[in-house]
């Protein structure tokens, strides 16, 4: 029961895989590589074992509450709590995707915002006091990407609740179904999902602050993965650096922040960094 435990969602490939690799090298406890598909997950574990690393494995589909509950019960029984949770799993439609915006909006928000939220709601009750949560956002999650000042003001309102934020995310999906989303929300469901995740991070920090839990959002950089169609110039290990910093090294004072791939805290609401990645 005493061993520490770290978990990375969606870690059979890409940045999540590299976060597991980095944690295996430095985290003093057990590290769980998780995947929605068991075969892909076990292959990834075997790949890390060939490097002399020793991740544990558990199935985890963030869109399936039962899958998350089974994992929570397993962790509670085996470890008594969670020390590090990295919410990395996400999807993104390609720029040339032919699915209508309404479909892209519903699916992207379902996975990246609502399923990450429900995963947190299931797992947060067993976070240990002092735990660290890293929400993998994106430069797309910078608030300046939302055209409407009214929405930006709502999203950064320090009294915004999770239920109100989820209401705004549902408003976006409904607007996309009506084809009226562009003026206020812009043209990218991925942007809205990651802005939502970053807003959620700030609310989660407020709710967990008393328990000394640190919750931060991170832009990992533009990384060479399937999601970026291998156009990102950074390696997956480069992309894991800022998430690993937040999981392991950031001072305890770093709370509810939006952290850039170079580990610098950036203002979420204004002054989006102009660096290329
Ligand atoms: P990726 O290579 O496509 O990997 C995404 C991972 O998430 C895969 O393991 C995927 O599993 C998993 N996943 C998707 N849906 C899931 C679900 N329902 N349950 C559990 N796992 C699920 O993408 P990546 O580039 O490494 O992205 C990792 C994170 O970084 C994402 O949050 C992404 O938004 C963010 N990010 C990436 C970039 C970039 O340039 N790549 C930039 C900014 C932010 P399957 O293999 O089963 O699909």
9 lines ligand 1 (CB under 6 A): yes
Q: What is the pLDDT of residue 274?
A: 72
For residues 215 and 200, the answer to whether their CB atoms sit within 8 Å is no
Q: What is the pLDDT of residue 82?
A: 98
224 lines ligand 1 (CB under 6 A): no
Which residues are CB-contacts of 253 (< 8 A; sequence separation ≥ 6)?
A: none
Which residues are CB-contacts of 199 (< 8 A; sequence separation ≥ 6)?
A: 143, 155, 156, 160, 165
Residue nearest to atom 21 of ligand 1 (CA): 10
If you measure from the C-alpha of residue 231 to the centroid of ligand 1, how many angstroms do you get, rounded to a whole number? 15
Dihedral through CA 143, CA 145, CA 150, CA 156, nearest 10?
A: -10
pLDDT along the chain (277 residues), means of 10: 89 98 98 98 98 98 98 98 98 95 97 98 98 98 96 98 98 97 96 98 98 98 97 97 98 97 94 68
If you measure from the C-alpha of residue 9 to the centroid of ligand 1, how many angstroms do you get, rounded to a whole number? 9
Active site residues: 190
Q: What is the pLDDT of residue 53?
A: 98
How many whole angstroms separate alpha carbon 108 and alpha carbon 188?
A: 10
Assign 144 to helix, strand or coil. helix
12 lines ligand 1 (CB under 6 A): yes
If you measure from the C-alpha of residue 90 to the centroid of ligand 1, how many angstroms do you get, rounded to a whole number? 4
13 lines ligand 1 (CB under 6 A): yes
CATH classification number, 5-97+116-140+197-266, choose in 3.40.50.720, 3.30.70.2740, 3.90.1150.10, 3.40.50.300:
3.40.50.720
What's the whole-model pTM score? 0.98
Q: What is the pLDDT of residue 270?
A: 82
């Amino acid at each position: 029961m005493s061993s520490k435990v770290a978990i990375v969602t969606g870690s059979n490939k890409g940045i999540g895989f590299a976060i597991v690799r980095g944690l295996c090298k430095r985290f003093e406890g057990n590290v769980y590589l998780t995947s929605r598909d068991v075969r892909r997950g076990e292959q990834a574990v075997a790949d890390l074992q060939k490097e002399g690393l020793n991740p544990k494995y558990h199935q985890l589909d963030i869109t399936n509450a039962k899958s998350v509950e089974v994992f929570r019960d397993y962790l509670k029984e085996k470890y008594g709590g969670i020390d590090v949770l990295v919410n990395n799993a996400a999807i993104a439609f390609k720029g040339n995707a032919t699915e209508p915006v309404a479909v892209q909006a519903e699916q992207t928000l379902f996975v990246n915002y609502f399923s990450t939220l429900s995963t947190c709601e299931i797992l947060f009750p067993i976070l240990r006091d002092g735990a660290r949560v890293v929400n993998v956002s994106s430069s797309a999650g910078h608030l300046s990407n939302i055209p409407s000042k009214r929405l930006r003001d709502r999203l950064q309102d320090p009294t915004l609740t999770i239920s109100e934020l989820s209401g705004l995310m549902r408003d976006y999906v409904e607007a996309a179904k009506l084809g009226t989303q562009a003026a206020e929300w812009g043209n990218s469901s991925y942007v809205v999902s990651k802005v939502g995740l970053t807003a959620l991070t700030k609310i989660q920090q407020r709710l967990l602050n008393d328990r000394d839990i640190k919750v931060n959002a991170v832009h990992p950089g533009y990384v060479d993965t399937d999601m970026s169609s291998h156009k990102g110039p950074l390696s997956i290990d480069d992309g894991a650096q800022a998430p690993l910093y937040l999981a392991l090294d950031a001072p305890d004072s770093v709370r509810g922040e939006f952290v850039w791939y170079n580990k610098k805290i950036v203002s979420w609401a204004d002054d989006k960094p102009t660096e290329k990645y």
